[in-house]
Amino acid sequence: LQSNSCCIGPGFAEENTEPEEDTMIKIAGNSHLVSPNLPDFHGCSPGWSSAFYGAECFDSEVHSYMKNLGKQKSSESQNIDAKKVELEQLLMMETKNYRKTIKFYQKLLQKERRSKGPETKSMLLKLRGQLQEMKSKVQFLELVKKYVQAKQWGVESCVLLTVIHNGSTDAVDVAPTDESSLLLYYNTEKHQCNNQNGVRVLQAGTPLGLMAYLYSRNAFLEGYVQQFLYTFRYFCTQEEFLQFLLDRISSTLSSANLDPSTSLTKICNRSFYILQAWIEDCYSVDFATNTDLLCTLKEFISSKVAPLNGYGERLLTLLEAASARKSGRAPQCSSMDKCEEEGEEDRKTLHSLCKKLSEDVSRKASLLFFFFFLQNFNWKLSKGMGPIAQYQRERLYTIPSVLPKPCYNSFTEEFPVSCAKADEVGPYLLIEYSVQQLCCQLTLLQQEVFNKCHPVHFLNSRALGVKDKCIAVQKAVSTETVSLKVCNLFLSKCIQDQYLLQLLKNADSISTWVAAEIVTCHTSKLQVSLLSKFLLIAKCCYEQRNFATAMQILAGLENLIVRQLPAWKILPAKVAEIMEELKAVEVFLKSDSLCLMEGERFKTLPTIPSARVLAMHVQQLETGGFTMTNGAHKWTKLRNIAKVVSQVHAFQENPYTYTPDFKLQSYLRQRITCFKDADISALAADNCANFHQIPAEKHSRKIQDTLRRMKATFQ
């Protein structure tokens, strides 16, 4: 079971509230009414694991389990409905037992903290092992459920050409047709999962052929659907893709209720499935930024789908909920969705409890990961740095001039008031707080902006002017004024969300802030203290896999003015070695686009990648032509790009759970905002501590010696 947990992430955000003891896990499939002839689509988005692992997401154990599911005897025939019912029952039972065991573990843990008896401690160890087994079993059953959903409503390859020209009922079920003009394949060896002697793998296709392949029987199982949703903007616009889906729905919807086994019904249901997956996964980058596209979809659903069956209402509710999440509002749920959302909340809370349970394990694992890192790259480990401590219990309250809790979207957003209070405190508050405290709060601030990004944001970044150097994004850049260059890889009419520029601008603001804080120190002693503090914070960040903040601090320390400061010469040797460690981390991050996805660590330890490094990796993959000599688009190239950007969603599934310190965060936000557009050379010029000073007495003695030598030459 452990081997299958790699194919599915937790996918649940941290919740602060716990449900009542009698809360029941509800099966979403039975919580609302739909048309009897239209399937209940629940959670259609395949998820990042589908794009990353592809066909390997479902290994031989999943296939074997699915084959035996729903059969009481070996002689009985397999029935998909029986499989689904049995799977739902098993998943509900295992999930309830899992929840109960977690709650029992929590109570036992509280008892152990009070009594600290050996019997309680041994029982906790046994329970922890049982919880790991139960968690693996629940994850495996969830994976099987996703496999069942993925196998539905696909058509054979011989029908794909007819999918394109679909318009009449009698034209769907036809004899096999040659599809070589639309799609190109290459043959592989025996596949690991389904034990076939050979597998055809998609190599390239025309835009129409690639859209038609979404209806293939194995499109979901191969990860093609999720990879397509990430990358289709390279060869078609959002409007073209939507119109393709709506045309298929229009031509099949009126006849889809006749027989669920016909190709006509399969095309209709697969169209709805893909449409819902698109809304669930890419609403923020496609529909939220294109009001015309959203209006076209809503009008079609209201006029064509809603009058014929109840699924139209569900789609409209889904769009409303997605819009509410994008704008930060709480969506108003219809009665048909309440039970389903309660079931989702139960499941979220379940994984949240497990998250809290494993926090101590994760902290230990992060330290082991760091030592593993050093062994592989022969880095030197500086002493005195352990994993993040729960410092909130011993929080400092010695600063009287604290600021109110911030109410803004980005930590570099303009403030309604001046930065006078933060200027009064200056850099002294940074010295007073511990490295762990500053690392925690900077990580939470970074997580806040990272969680708003989407894998699609990292595509076609050259057109936005993104380059490897920090100067690529101008300081006063505005997302409304950026013009697309000739290197635009998306179609000209394809609307691109430019949130990546804001993400990189935030990163540049952090780097500028670090440099500005150092060069504005009025004494060499304070500069040494602040240099040491930032180096230790960066070290602490990359140990906790917050590579974004670590690289931002490194960029600030590598500023030309900062590197020439005299304070570096009197910096303790052990602290100065951290600079080399940070450079080694940077080389490691740039060495491989999937280096942070190696092993199992990214599934248990929160991670924030460096946005600029990830964008550069994607640009490297985008280098070269996207089409073959016959005009077909290279799907192998697009698949690799989708695999790299899918790690954004993978990292977002496992957030940091540090307790926020709003006072410290408010101070950090204001200092970063005050210095984000600062001229470091101008700031450094006003501070004599930034220059190498020659003592007056020593300087006078040198002049006298020179004059004495000159006088001797004339005698």
The total domain count for the chain is: 3
- The CATH number given to whatever domain includes residue 264 is 1.20.870.10
In a shared domain, residues 145 and 162: no
CB 396 within 8 A of CB 432: yes
Residue 705: inside a domain: no
Answer with the one of 306, 324, 342 that is the final residue of a domain: 324
pTM: 0.76
Residue 22 included in any domain = no
Q: Which of 294, 324, 354 corresponds to the end of one domain?
A: 324
Question: How much is the mean pLDDT over the chain?
Answer: 76
Strand ranges inside 133-265, DSSP E: 183-188, 199-205
pLDDT for res 715: 64
Contact call for residues 183 and 205 (beta carbons, < 8 A): yes
Could you tell me the CATH number of the domain that includes residue 610?
A: 1.10.840.10
What pLDDT does residue 449 have? Answer: 97
In this model, does residue 347 exceed pLDDT 80? no
Q: Is the pLDDT of residue 176 over 60?
A: no
User: Would you say residue 15 has pLDDT above 50?
Assistant: no
In terms of Cβ atoms closer than 10 Å to its own Cβ (0-12, 13-18, 19+), residue 649 is buried
Query: Which one has a higher pLDDT value, 535 or 361?
Result: 535
> What 8-state DSSP symbol labels residue 388?
P
- The secondary structure of 407-447 as a DSSP string is --SSTTSPPSS-SHHHHHHTTHHHHHS-HHHHHHHHHHHHH
- Among 293-297, 344-348, 513-517, 656-660, the minimum mean pLDDT is found in 344-348
pLDDT of residue 156: 79
Query: What is the reported pLDDT for 43?
Result: 64
Question: Cα torsion for 665, 667, 673, 678, to the nearest 10°?
Answer: -130
Is 653 inside a domain boundary?
Answer: yes
Q: State yes or no: pLDDT of 224 exceeds 90.
A: yes
Grouping H, G, I as helix, E, B as strand and the rest as coil, residue 278 is helix
Q: Both 204 and 302 in a single domain? A: yes
Residues 114 and 201 in one domain: no
Residues 456 and 601 in one domain: yes
Question: Using CA atoms, how far apart are residues 571 and 530, in angstroms rounded to an integer?
Answer: 10
Question: Quick check: 313 pLDDT over 70?
Answer: yes
User: Tens digit of pLDDT for each residue in 609-646?
Assistant: 999 999 999 999 999 999 999 899 999 999 999 999 99
Q: Are residues 161 and 115 in the same domain?
A: no
Q: Which domain holds residue 438?
A: 427-470+493-696
> In terms of domains, do 139 and 185 share one?
no
Are residues 258 and 294 part of one domain? yes
111 and 126, same domain (yes or no):
yes
Q: How far is CA 641 from CA 228, 262, 454, 622, 648, in A?
A: 11, 35, 14, 8, 12
The domain boundary residue, chosen from 307, 324, 341: 324
Is 342 inside any structural domain?
Answer: no
139 versus 230: which is more confidently predicted?
230
Same domain, 434 and 508: yes
Query: What are the structure tokens assigned to 41, written together?
Result: 């689509």
pLDDT-derived band at 17, boundaries 50, 70, 90 = very low
pLDDT over 80 at 341, yes or no: no
pLDDT at 406 over 80: no
Specify if 259 maps to a domain.
Answer: yes
Sequence-ordered alpha helix ranges (H) in 520-646: 524-543, 547-557, 560-563, 573-591, 601-604, 611-622, 635-645
d(CA 446, CA 507): 9
Q: Is the pLDDT of residue 246 over 70?
A: yes
Same domain, 497 and 577: yes
pLDDT at 242: 96
Residue 101 has pLDDT above 70, yes or no: yes
- In a domain, residue 712? The reply is no
Across the range 439-445, mean pLDDT stands at 97
In this prediction, residue 634 carries a pLDDT of 96
- Is residue 134 within 8 A of residue 97, CB to CB? The reply is yes
Average pLDDT over residues 684-697: 69
116 shares a domain with 96: yes
Q: Say yes or no: 211 and 91 in one domain.
A: no
369 within some domain: no
6 to 70, 355, 368, 667: CA distances (angstroms): 25, 17, 20, 40
Q: Is residue 416 part of a domain?
A: no
